[in-house]
Amino acid sequence: MTTNEILAKLPYGKSFLFVDELLHVDENGTKGTFTYTKNLFFYKSHFKNHPVTPAVILTETMAQIGLVCLGIYLLKDNDTEHQLSIAMTSNAIDFLKPVYPGEQVIVTSEKIYFRFNKLSCKVKMENVAGEVLCKGNISGMLISKSNG
């Protein structure tokens, strides 16, 4: 499965897709990028006159690149008539530096385990200078739903 095929299977609409490019994926993890453009919907209100990317959006970005993309790859041999759904079950993230409008981030994940359709990953978000912005663990359940 190619990185473009994985991106095409992501279950998000354009306004809630936080993956620009998937640089690498294998059975052990992923690496991808996203740029928080200045016109994203949440910057108008978080915070007035000094916009900062909300922690929940940073977590979502790490989950989409590090957990969902990896889950799609790991289930690549499953029946193609089923659509993948992923529910986050837990996360523990340390936020170390703010992320401002216009910044590009690189997310790397490393699989901790995948069993009984539960995927757990160690995730890290860095800026283009290589500074760690946030890091931690994210887990989720992978559910295959029938299209019929």
Q: How far apart are CA 72 and CA 74, in angstroms?
A: 6
Tokens of 23: 């640089």
pLDDT, the chain, mean: 92
- What does the DSSP assignment read for 93-127? EEE-S---TT-EEEEEEEEEEEETTEEEEEEEEEE
Q: How much of the chain, in percent, has pLDDT values that exceed 90? A: 78
Give me the CATH topology for the region 3-146: Thiol Ester Dehydrase; Chain A (3.10.129)
pLDDT in tens, 97-148: 999 999 999 999 999 999 998 999 999 999 999 999 999 999 999 876 654 4
Cβ atoms of 36 and 99 closer than 8 Å: yes
Mean pLDDT, rounded, for 33-54: 94
pLDDT score of 148: 45
One-character DSSP codes across 6-37 = HHHT----GGG---SEEEEEETTEEEEEEE--
Tell me, what's the pLDDT at 78?
Answer: 66
**pLDDT > 70 in the chain, percent:** 92
